[in-house]
Amino acid sequence: MIRADGLSKNFGAVVAAENVSFSAEDGKVTALLGPNGAGKSTTLRMLCGVLAPSRGDAQIDGISVASDGTAARRQIGALPHNAGLYDRLTARENIAYFGALHGLSKAELGARIDQLAQQLEMAEIIDRRVQGFSQGQKVKTAIARALVHDPKNVLLDEPTNGLDVMATRAVRDIVLQLKAEGRTVLFSSHVMQEVTNLCDHIVIISGGQVRFDGSPEALRQATGMDSLEESFVQISEAATGVAS
């Protein structure tokens, strides 16, 4: 369960996020949508406690990020935008590094990584060095790294960015698995079609503000459009004042 409460962030005079409030429920997939530069990454960074909000707070399973960031971060598995791996380490070593930072013992780590490798279908590459991995293999490794401590809440910042169709489908399957396991999944995207079949809840951000918060069905009704994409474009443009 993730709750954003009036999150605002200024970088100097630039307002990156303003009064962003929404919640992402357990066992549901919440999509954070918005055009490039809308404030999605800034919002996710504030939820992870990497950026301190100028105003507002966020709660992860009821733990305040502002007052107890370390405890809140324990509940999160995050895949930041364009997250990089360590090329000279194997996939297993990459995953184990973050697991050890979460305080997992060596025995726990071994079992958990084997389980993740099974689940994400990466058993063949798990002991290979990351150098030379395909984009899809890298994203799988990065997701496994984010899930190593079995977090209740998973934040994925544009996880399908730069992936081909097969890899995109693999990521989608992972998201559905996570949902089936009862986790809170919050992912950001600017690609509509990957959202359509996947999410239970949509939050649209544009110009740093929340423009819509509800189910895909509600979004279609609110805009009177059949397709989500049309709805998304209408809302985004209305917010930024672009005439269509």
Partner 1 sequence: MSAFATVFRKELLDNLRDRRTLLSSFSIALLGPLFFVGLMAFMLDTAIGESSEPVSIDVIGAEHAPNLIGYLHTSNVDTNSIDLEDPALAVRSGEHSVILVIPNDYGADLASGEVAQLRIVHDSSAFGSARRGYRAAQSAINAYSRSIGLRRLMVRGVDVNVIDPIDVTSIDTASPGARALTVLATLPYLLLFVVFMGGFYLAIDSTAGERERGSLEPLLTQPVDRGPLVLGKIGASATFALMSLLLFLIAFTLSLPMVPLEKLGVALTMTATKAGSIVVLCLPLLVMAAALLVVVASFAKSYKEAQTYLSIVILIPTLPAIVISFLDIEPGLPIMMIPSVSQALLVSDIISGDPIANSHVAVSMLATTVAAAALCYLATVLYKREAILG
Shortest Å, Cβ 47 to partner 1: 10
Confirm or reject binding of residue 56 to partner 1 (CB under 8 A): no
Q: How far is it, in rounded angstroms, from Cα 98 to Cα 105?
A: 12
Alpha carbon separation from 76 to 200, 231, 238 (Å, rounded)? 20, 31, 33
Shortest Å, Cβ 21 to partner 1: 22
Q: Label residue 159 exposed, middle or buried (CB < 10 Å: 0-12, 13-18, 19+).
A: buried
Confirm or reject binding of residue 143 to partner 1 (CB under 8 A): no
Stretch that binds partner 1, among 30-38, 66-74, 166-174, 193-201 (CB under 8 A): 66-74
Q: What 3-state class would DSSP assign to 182?
A: coil
Sole binder of partner 1 in the list 37, 55, 100, 134 (CB under 8 A):
100
Confirm or reject binding of residue 191 to partner 1 (CB under 8 A): no
| H or E element in which residue 23 lies | strand 14-24
Binding mask 15-54 for partner 1 (x = CB under 8 A): ------------------------------x--xxxxx--
Q: How far is it, in rounded angstroms, from Cα 74 to Cα 69?
A: 9
Which residues sit at the interface with partner 1, rule CB under 8 A?
A: 45, 48-52, 70-71, 73-74, 76, 78-89, 93, 97-98, 100-102, 142, 145-146
